[in-house]
A and B are shown apart, each in its own frame.
Chain A
Amino acid sequence: MPVHGEIWTIKELFVYPNENIVWSIQIVLYPYLTGLVAGAFVLSSLSHVFGKEELKPVTPFALVFSLALLLAAPLPLLFHLQQPQRNIHVLFTPHFTSAIAAFGVVFSVYAAIVASEVWFTYRQHIVESALSLRKAEGLPARLKGLLYRVLTLGSYDVSEKALKLDERVATVLAGVGIPVACFLHGYVGFIFGSVKANALWMTPLMPVIFIMSAVVSGIALCLFTYIVIMEIRVIFKRPSPWGPERGHPSAMPQRETDIQIIRIIAKYLVFFMILALSLELLDLVFHSYTAKKPYEILQTIIFDRFAFNIFGLQYGLGMALPFLLLLLPSLSIRRAFVASILILFGVFMMRWNVVIGGQAFSLTFSGYMNYQLPIIPHDLDTFKEGLAGFLLLLLLPFGLLWLFSRFLPLFPKKEKLSPLG
């Protein structure tokens, strides 16, 4: 009768009998998704809080995406729990000396902030849709109208004054949201950084490293999705499927504006990549310079067993190459697209190398554990913590984004944009 983790753990040399890789693929995905949430939110806040006017067109999109990611982010954790039905205990009897307990509260606060900001951003659209669908015929349209009416929260005030107020509140929320987003993701870093038993994880830099790579991955994801959405419109040469104004001639693709925004986003991306890289290298240098007791085995992990993962995939393919692609002059959409995919992959590899790499060596410092991702699920564990469960949760945010886009236009037209236009 295998204990949890035994199925995908292959032990080498001397490993304690009870040790297994208990934090598997879902715990790789969990900080990844949380990071994307934080990154997308930071991007959406840049125009509000730091007055980055040039980013305004992507603000609502990044915000809604952040909400979609946010809803998906705790699910990997849930999939990974051995007693998922008890998840509410984290909020009912939180033990704040644990980073996971703190995560529960910070997450709830953050969710409230993001949801409110979405509401304030889209209030005009919601009210207008609710009014226009009031007399709608047919069940789908009536249901849609009902949903909009619920979403108005009973307020139909779209006077000039009210909209001004909306914008002010959204700005305040964006301002409050940034530290909370960093907090949220810092905590995720803290979950690892505070495990003193794990020589690879235990570093005070961990929370900061996680925040930086979070911002990088979040911005890259927005870039990626933005390009996908825009290119779909260009490729199919048809009006936007993303807003209620479908069929309207003004929704025809406008490619020229895209590349400007992409170049701006790319600049921020490069900036945060530099920060992330320097912190990660600092950590690496410190491990090897101070070379404490566990370093002997860490060395074999970093420079041997995970060398290809770390230097080839994470830094080479996921950092250096996209860095070049973004920095070379006259950035094209295609190059930005490839770069954003590479960055997303690179940050994912970073999570992988931290989570799986950190468990690749035994607490004995005399043995190794190799992880074998379950591909074909044959029971609940191998589904939840296998490739299938992973892909399901990885794609979920995109599904949610699509769902939200049915109700909230991701790229509102200038004149319809409220209150940001």
Chain B
Amino acid sequence: MMNWSRRHFLKNSAKALAAAAVPAAAYELLTPEILAAVRKGKGPRWAWVIDATKCVGCGMCVQACKRENEIPWETTASRTWVERYVVTTDGRVLIDSPNAARDGYTKNNPMGEQVPAEQIAKGFFVPKVCNHCENPPCVQVCPVGASHVTDEGVVLVDRSWCIGCGYCLQACPFGTRFFHPVHKTAEKCTFCYHRITKGMNPACVDACAFGVRKWGDIRDPNSEVSRIVRTERVTVLKEEYGTKPHAFYIGLDRIVR
């Protein structure tokens, strides 16, 4: 009896050891770029790297995006936008993004409030864009197959098929979607699909003179984005929703929404 249980114990411990070894290795492998590579399909998988520490809040990206993608200028919604975060010395957090920052930030008036420089503990700008998530809930909830993911991981909406139910607008935790005021269909960042498929940069990337926005193939270990994701401290927004966002940020703060 004793004997049996010891053997049993030993055998089980060996099993447990092996079992422990496997997940450990698996966790190591679960880096975003490897995960992306496991995806079915070959070729590139596009991703963003956004260096928020360099953003000056000029909003040129928003201006370029709106013009490039024909989002009416007078519309408050935008495929990309820039948020301003200001924390005062007494701990208040002021956040705004007037008109999606299409005109940039030219005044020190967070939330319409004049805050003297000496009362500001910290402040910064955060550009936002569709994360082209690996598990996009917006696509999952689309009842008709109008929202979908391309082989390169780009999340697109079929304007000829969308019924305009708004379910995807509810499902995206990042608030990136809206209804196009002219086409009356769900609208979102397309990664400038018409540009990147011609070897160009997305319009916002070109418009940024500060090198805040980078994009590239996260499956290619030599691309700039995979090098940064691999070697630098990056984070993603709202990871808790499990959507696996593919916009990797440098220099985010915990107050970022």
Q: Enumerate chain A interface residues (CB-CB to B < 8 A).
A: 1-6, 13-14, 16-20, 22-23, 77, 80-84, 86-87, 89-90, 92-95, 97-101, 103-104, 191, 194-198, 293, 362-366
Contacts and interface: CB of A to CB of B under 8 A. Distances in A.
Counting chain B CB atoms within 10 Å of each CB, the highest count among A17, A77, A83, A195 belongs to A17
A3 B77 contact: yes
B89 interface: no
A18 B164 contact: no
B162 A83 contact: yes
A201 B114 CA distance: 37
B81 A23 contact: no
Given A80-B165, A101-B144, A364-B257, A18 B170 contact: no
A90 B143 contact: yes
A3 B95 contact: no
B185 interface: yes
Interface residues of B, number: 51
Contacts of A4: 164, 166, 178-179, 181, 184
A195 B99 contact: no
A188 to B, nearest CB: 13
Contact of A18 (B77, B111, B142, B143): B77
A115 to B, nearest CB: 24
Interface in B83-105: 83, 93, 95-97, 99-100
A3 B164 contact: no
Contacts of B81: 16-18
A22 B179 contact: yes
A81 B163 contact: yes
18 contacts: A1-B75, A3-B77, A14-B95, A14-B257, A16-B97, A18-B77, A20-B178, A22-B166, A23-B170, A82-B164, A82-B166, A82-B185, A86-B162, A94-B144, A195-B137, A197-B137, A197-B241, A366-B93
Contacts, number: 155
Nearest to B164: A82
B144 A81 contact: no
A17 B164 contact: no
B21 to A, nearest CB: 33
Nearest to A17: B100
Contacts of B184: 4, 82-83
A5 B169 CA distance: 11
Contacts of B167: 98, 100, 191
Contacts of A103: 143
Interface string B219-257: 000000000000000000000111000000000000001
Pairs of residues from A and B, 7 with the lowest C-beta to C-beta distance, nearest first: A82-B164, A16-B175, A100-B143, A364-B257, A4-B179, A197-B173, A101-B143
B78 interface: yes
